[in-house]
Amino acid sequence: MMQKTIVGKQPVKGLQKHPLAMLVIGILGIAMSSIFVKFSKAPAAVTAAYRMLWAVALMTPVVWGKGSVRREFGQLEKKTLLLSVVSGLFLAAHFVLWFESLDHTSVASSTTIVCTEVIWVALGFCLFLKGRLSGRAILAIGVTIGGSVLIAWSDSGSGGSHLYGDLLALAAAMVEAVYTLIGTVVRKKTSTAVYTYVVYGACAVCLLLTCMVQGLDLFAYGISAPVVGLLLAVFSTIMGHSIFSWCLKFFSPSFVSASKLCEPVVAAIAALFLFSEIPAPVQIGGSLLIMGGVFYYSRLEEKKS
């Protein structure tokens, strides 16, 4: 399952000596995102805005410090730029929906349902990019959706607004799938640095406009919002998703994808100790079905490619 990269006979130095340790750091980074959001006292749009503003600020000196990246910006086609901006709008919607879901449902339910994004990517690929799904892929999708139904059924009987939070998490997974599909098209013509910088910038602007429309003051919620935003930018964005991209040099895509399924497990354990969130048996069963379906689909995709 794992694939190692060997360059000549030169010894592997630095971080490349411990790619598995870096993968663990990446898992912890994305798993803590839901925990950080829980500590924010600001509305979802404000917290998300701070996250993306920090991410853009941290990326700016790195991106503009490279001449090749600056030249690529000057050669961007209008269509590519427009698609990247649209991708950023969907990313903004994902953050607002997901962060809001964490105010209504448990960390375990929210993070597990958001993991279904890969399934919605598969369906979108068939509907909009003329792709095809095998019978086994359809089975994996069915199992994943069944797990989501179980979680929703369990939460609907627990009172409060848990079911509403589950639906928000499901919507967050769907809009994230659109963001991923657009990225699949745009990334064929652009580098990772240029694409992510434009997307994050558009996302940040969209979130700021959302705050203005909703009448939300970025500075009205104390220090928690900017601090949580910084933690999300550093740990969840840079030390989370960026590390996963880096680890693809050393491990197979299916192994990296499967490792992301540790996120809801780690997040649920942290929520158990920090917020006393104890998942119900049916909720645990639904989560296992979702993670099993996503893992199986990831394996099918790797074999097909």
Each residue's pLDDT tens digit, 135-170: 888 888 888 888 888 888 887 777 678 899 999 999
According to the model, what pLDDT value does residue 295 have?
83
Per-residue pLDDT tens digits for 243-254 = 876 776 677 655
Q: Is 231 helix (H, G, I), strand (E, B) or coil?
A: helix
Query: Has residue 87 got a pLDDT over 80?
Result: yes
Question: What value does the mean pLDDT take over residues 29-50?
Answer: 93
Give the Cβ contact number of residue 124 at 10 Å. Answer: 18
Per-residue pLDDT tens digits for 166-216 = 999 999 999 998 998 888 788 788 888 888 899 999 999 999 999 999 999
Which residue has tokens 């992510």?
A: 196
Query: Has residue 70 got a pLDDT over 60?
Result: yes
Q: Which residues of 55-77 are buried (b: 16+ CB within 10 A; e: fewer)?
A: bbebbeeebeeeeeeeebeeebe
According to the model, what pLDDT value does residue 190 have?
85
pTM of the full structure: 0.85
According to the model, what pLDDT value does residue 165 have?
93
Q: Which helix (H) or strand (E) holds 258?
A: helix 253-260
Cα distances (angstroms) measured from residue 204 to each of 77, 127, 227, 235, 244: 22, 29, 16, 18, 22
Instruction: Categorize the per-residue pLDDT at 257 as very low, low, confident or very high, splitting at 50, 70 and 90.
Output: low
| Domains of the chain, residue spans | 44-62+77-304
Query: Has residue 123 got a pLDDT over 70?
Result: yes
Which of residues 11 and 109 earns the better pLDDT score?
Answer: 109
